Amino acid sequence: MRLPLVFISVLLCRGLAQSTVVDNYIASESPIAKAGLLANIGPSGSKSSGAKAGVVVASPSTTDPNYLFTWTRDSSLVFKVIVDQFTQGIDSSLRGLIEDFVGAESVLQQTSNPSGAITTGGLGEPKFNIDLSAFTGSWGRPQRDGSALRSTALITYANWLIKNGNASFVSDTLWPMIQLDLDYVQNNWNQSTFDLWEEINSSSFFTTAVQHRALRQGITLAQAIGQTSVVSGYTAQAENLLCFLQSYWNPSGGYMTANTGGGRSGIDSNTVLTSIHTFDSDAGCDDATFQPCSDKALLNLLTYVNSFRSVYSINSGIPTSQAAAVGRYPEDVYFNGNPWYLSTLGVAEQLYDALLVWNQQQSIMVTPTSQPFFALFQSDIAPGTYGSTTSTFSSLISSIKDYADGFVAIVADRTPADGGLSEQFDKNTGAPLSAVDLTWSYASALTAFAARGGFVPESWGAKGLTVPSICENNPGPTVSATFNVNATTVMGENIFLTGSVASLDTWSPDNALALSAANYPIWSITVDIPANTNVEYKYIRKNNGVITWESDPNNEVSTPASGTITLNDSWR
Ligand SMILES: *[C@@H]1O[C@H](CO)[C@@H](O)[C@H](O)[C@H]1NC(C)=O
Ligand SMILES: *[C@@H]1O[C@H](CO)[C@@H](O)[C@H](O)[C@H]1NC(C)=O
Ligand SMILES: *[C@@H]1O[C@H](CO)[C@@H](O)[C@H](O)[C@H]1NC(C)=O
Ligand SMILES: *[C@@H]1O[C@H](CO)[C@@H](O)[C@H](O)[C@H]1NC(C)=O
Ligand SMILES: *[C@@H]1O[C@H](CO)[C@@H](O)[C@H](O)[C@H]1NC(C)=O
């Protein structure tokens, strides 16, 4: 039986323990969330009419906002939940749906779109139409987390198939798809991306972290099925990603900066979502991968939660030791900036994951970094390790469980009587807002509830990683380009080349590359330039310090995915 909202509030007023309120909410909301999620998956979901088999509709909402599209990120997170439920034996009826997802994604991978074709950047496309055709409107693209998250969902299924004697399906069908996605990650992680909220074009913590995770899992799978040729390349870039990941930490602010661009504080739900979507209980409280119970991730959680206390009026008067409603980031103005269900549930999930590890380890370590977090529950707590026989351990476990339950209780309180979860709830009234039946909201409820119940996701290899001391970048794939220009020169005059990419010295006349006159009047140089890129360039003459540029417009070349090209120009 589902308790109506009013009844829950009455019970709470009458002093029913919060944990009981949360137990009751989970009992009633779990089947609703599961049904809500399945209703948004084609072809037979009741709210996804028009969606092809295996396509996840972000929300059935078609106006204000129109979310009747399929996003690779959302779909992959949703299917990770489905794959987990299937592979852990929670629901054996889901296999057909997983097979539909594999089919749909194999079509989408091959669908040319505004980000490119399969080998020329198309795997960075964030969003498609629900009939599996390309979405061609303008959008924040590329978004480089989708291919990583998709491979994580597929690898989790592949690992189950191998354990269950079906390695041939993995080698024949799943691996080719996974390799496309992971090659994309390997080659492109070091280029700018739109973040998971599709607003900021820079580097993004969530994207870097899920890319790192995907490559690590991919390496293990590749070794298991004998695809060893990818291992050294993936390993090199996984190391680079792990190194780069550390750079998002802002020690003075006490949080992970969500994006390297964007001109905001950088305090963002992005980071809490990262902790839960890269949780690996084998890694304990390791801070190199920002595990949920790591000191950095806990201080980050505190900073993030507190940033919304004065921003949303529904949080007013709530003491800092108690849960608050949280949204994407405090500066948010979308729908005037409100709490999100999936963000609030994400905080609860991070804390449940942390509790799981502390209980597993039978100890809690408080460091100077995490001390402010633990001080919420015991103001005089000192850094140190508190073992399971200490009263500090048991009192922290119980207070943190209460604090975590508080976030679910807020969501329970803001869930309408029919149990539907939209995207947001109003910062002043608490009423549901924006897209209805958001598939990701339902997925976030299911994963938070599972974490509270002690669900341990499959390890992805986060244990025992060492951060490299020097971070190397990865310029990505290049092509060898020979530039030939027919230019007649006078004595003492030489020809140089510069252009729009770093390997052409980014329009610098001073550092422009000198061409050889061995085949005069043809001047030549061969340079590695980025593949799959629209490159602009110009030749310049230099004569005793006098620089003369070619006339406008710039020369242009759209480089292929690999190989060599020769450009035959005449001085203009
Ligand atoms: C292997 O798994 C695939 C995908 O789920 C399935 O279609 C196929 O029937 C399985 N093969 C065997 C022999 O079980
Ligand atoms: C590329 O990697 C280097 C080294 O970690 C880093 O400094 C730089 O910010 C990265 N750039 C992007 C766009 O990822
Ligand atoms: C994103 O940023 C990169 C690096 O600054 C830039 O080259 C690219 O054009 C930008 N993309 C968009 C769509 O603004
Ligand atoms: C270079 O350009 C000049 C003038 O247009 C032309 O006469 C000559 O044939 C060209 N040389 C080569 C090698 O293409
Ligand atoms: C430039 O000339 C070479 C042979 O001299 C030829 O192979 C190549 O296709 C030419 N490139 C273009 C872009 O026409």
The pLDDT score that the predictor gives to residue 107 is 98
Q: What gap in Å lies between CA 83 and CA 153, rounded to an integer?
A: 7
Bridge pairing between strands 534-543 and 546-549: antiparallel
Axis-axis angle for helices 72-87, 439-452 (nearest 10): 40
The pLDDT score that the predictor gives to residue 7 is 46
> Backbone dihedral region of 419: left (phi > 0), alpha (psi from -120 to 50 degrees) or beta?
left
Q: What share of the chain is helix, strand, coil (3-state, %, to 5)?
A: 45, 15, 40
Is 6 a residue whose pLDDT tops 70?
no
Point out the ligand 2 atom lying closest to the alpha carbon of residue 192: 13
Same domain for 483 and 536, yes or no, is: yes
Q: Mean pLDDT across the chain, nearest whole number?
A: 96
Same domain for 380 and 454, yes or no, is: yes
Q: What is the mean pLDDT of residues 474-498?
A: 95
- Calculate what percentage of the chain has a pLDDT beyond 70: 97
Is 5 a residue whose pLDDT tops 70?
no
Same domain for 232 and 338, yes or no, is: no
- Phi (first) and psi of residue 400, to 5 degrees: -70, -35
Confirm whether pTM is higher than 0.85: yes
**What residue's CA is closest to ligand 2, atom 12?**
190
**Residue 562 placed within a domain:** yes
Structure confidence by residue, pLDDT tens digits, 17-74: 999 999 999 999 999 999 999 999 999 999 999 999 999 999 999 999 999 999 999 9
- CB atoms inside a 10 Å sphere around CB 325: 29
Of 23, 99, 198, 282, catalytic = 198
Same domain for 559 and 413, yes or no, is: no
**Residue 323 placed within a domain:** yes
Same domain for 107 and 29, yes or no, is: no
Task: Please indicate whether residue 260, judged by its CB atom, sits closer than 6 Å to ligand 3.
Answer: no
Ligand 3 center–CA 115 separation, angstroms: 12
Task: Please indicate whether residue 473, judged by its CB atom, sits closer than 6 Å to ligand 2.
Answer: yes
For the chain, what is the total number of helices (H) and then of strands (E)?
A: 15, 19
Q: What gap in Å lies between CA 72 and CA 154, rounded to an integer?
A: 13
Report the domain count for the chain.
3
Whether the CB-CB separation of 261 and 140 falls below 8 Å is answered with no
Q: What is the mean pLDDT of residues 81-105?
A: 98
Question: At 344, which CATH number?
Answer: 1.50.10.10
- CB atoms inside a 10 Å sphere around CB 126: 25
Q: What is the mean pLDDT of residues 253-272?
A: 98
Is 3 a residue whose pLDDT tops 80?
no
Q: Which structural domain range is residue 81 located in?
A: 65-250
Residue 487 structure tokens:
């230019």
Task: Please indicate whether residue 192, judged by its CB atom, sits closer than 6 Å to ligand 3.
Answer: yes
Is 4 a residue whose pLDDT tops 70?
no
**End-of-domain residue from the set 250, 278, 293:** 250
**Residue 57 placed within a domain:** no
Ligand 5 center–CA 566 separation, angstroms: 5
Task: Please indicate whether residue 99, judged by its CB atom, sits closer than 6 Å to ligand 1.
Answer: yes
Of 125, 181, 195, 402, catalytic = 195
Same domain for 188 and 75, yes or no, is: yes
Same domain for 421 and 494, yes or no, is: no
- Cα of 377 vs its chain's centroid, Å: 31
Which runs of consecutive H residues, i.e. helices, occur in 278-366?
A: 295-306, 341-361
**End-of-domain residue from the set 250, 274, 309:** 250
Task: Please indicate whether residue 167, judged by its CB atom, sits closer than 6 Å to ligand 1.
Answer: no
**Residue 48 placed within a domain:** no
The pLDDT score that the predictor gives to residue 1 is 38
With CA atoms as reference, report the closest residue to 360 among 299, 293, 276.
293
- Phi (first) and psi of residue 288, to 5 degrees: -65, -35
The answer on whether 249 is annotated among ligand-binding residues is no
Q: What is the mean pLDDT of residues 538-547?
A: 96
Point out the ligand 4 atom lying closest to the alpha carbon of residue 519: 13
Q: Which residues pair with 538 in a beta bridge?
A: 498
For residue 411, what pLDDT band results from cuts at 50, 70 and 90? very high
Same domain for 93 and 176, yes or no, is: yes
Ligand 3 center–CA 192 separation, angstroms: 7
Q: What is the mean pLDDT of residues 5-16?
A: 52
Closest ligand, as measured to the CA of 205? 2
Same domain for 368 and 436, yes or no, is: yes
Whether the CB-CB separation of 195 and 260 falls below 8 Å is answered with no
Structure confidence by residue, pLDDT tens digits, 183-222: 999 999 999 999 999 999 999 999 999 999 999 999 999 9
Residues 6+ apart with CB under 8 A from 377: 321, 395, 396, 399, 400, 403
Check if 195 is active-site.
yes
**Residue 468 placed within a domain:** no
Closest ligand, as measured to the CA of 144? 2
The pLDDT score that the predictor gives to residue 244 is 98
Closest ligand, as measured to the CA of 487? 4
Mutation probe of ligand 3 site: the residue of 201, 473, 533, 535 with most atoms within 8 A of C-beta: 201
- CB atoms inside a 10 Å sphere around CB 470: 6
Question: At 496, which CATH number?
Answer: 2.60.40.10
Whether the CB-CB separation of 54 and 100 falls below 8 Å is answered with yes
Task: Please indicate whether residue 190, judged by its CB atom, sits closer than 6 Å to ligand 2.
Answer: yes
**Residue 430 placed within a domain:** yes
Same domain for 264 and 209, yes or no, is: no
Whether the CB-CB separation of 66 and 130 falls below 8 Å is answered with no
For residue 15, what pLDDT band results from cuts at 50, 70 and 90? low
Whether the CB-CB separation of 196 and 270 falls below 8 Å is answered with yes
Q: What is the DSSP string of 115-178?
A: TBSTTTTGGG--EE-TTSPBP-S--S---TTHHHHHHHHHHHHHHHHHHTT-HHHIIIIIHHHH
**What residue's CA is closest to ligand 4, atom 11?**
486
Question: Residue 58 has what DSSP assignment?
Answer: S
**What residue's CA is closest to ligand 2, atom 5?**
244
Residues with CB under 6 A from ligand 4: 486, 521-522, 570
The pLDDT score that the predictor gives to residue 535 is 94
**What residue's CA is closest to ligand 4, atom 6?**
486
**What residue's CA is closest to ligand 1, atom 12?**
166
Task: Please indicate whether residue 161, judged by its CB atom, sits closer than 6 Å to ligand 1.
Answer: yes
Closest ligand, as measured to the CA of 568? 5
For residue 562, what pLDDT band results from cuts at 50, 70 and 90? confident
Closest ligand, as measured to the CA of 533? 3
Ligand 1 center–CA 119 separation, angstroms: 28
Structure confidence by residue, pLDDT tens digits, 328-370: 999 999 999 999 999 999 999 999 999 999 999 999 999 999 9
The pLDDT score that the predictor gives to residue 10 is 44
Ligand 1 center–CA 166 separation, angstroms: 6
**Residue 513 placed within a domain:** yes
With CA atoms as reference, report the closest residue to 359 among 462, 299, 457, 285.
285
Task: Please indicate whether residue 106, judged by its CB atom, sits closer than 6 Å to ligand 3.
Answer: no
Structure confidence by residue, pLDDT tens digits, 386-408: 999 999 999 999 999 999 999 99
- CB atoms inside a 10 Å sphere around CB 215: 28
Ligand 1 center–CA 231 separation, angstroms: 26
Ligand 5 center–CA 483 separation, angstroms: 10
Same domain for 331 and 398, yes or no, is: yes
Burial of 518 (C-beta count, 10 Å sphere; 0-12/13-18/19+): exposed
Check if 183 is active-site.
no
Is 176 a residue whose pLDDT tops 90?
yes
> Backbone dihedral region of 476: left (phi > 0), alpha (psi from -120 to 50 degrees) or beta?
left
Residues 6+ apart with CB under 8 A from 374: 298, 364, 366, 381, 396
Q: What is the mean pLDDT of residues 155-162?
A: 98
Residue 13 structure tokens:
């007023």
Same domain for 104 and 208, yes or no, is: yes
Mutation probe of ligand 2 site: the residue of 143, 203, 211, 243 with most atoms within 8 A of C-beta: 203
- Sheet of 564-570: strand order equals 516-519, 522-530, 478-486, 564-570
Q: Is 417 helix (H, G, I), strand (E, B) or coil?
A: coil
**Residue 426 placed within a domain:** yes
For residue 2, what pLDDT band results from cuts at 50, 70 and 90? very low
**End-of-domain residue from the set 459, 487, 506:** 459
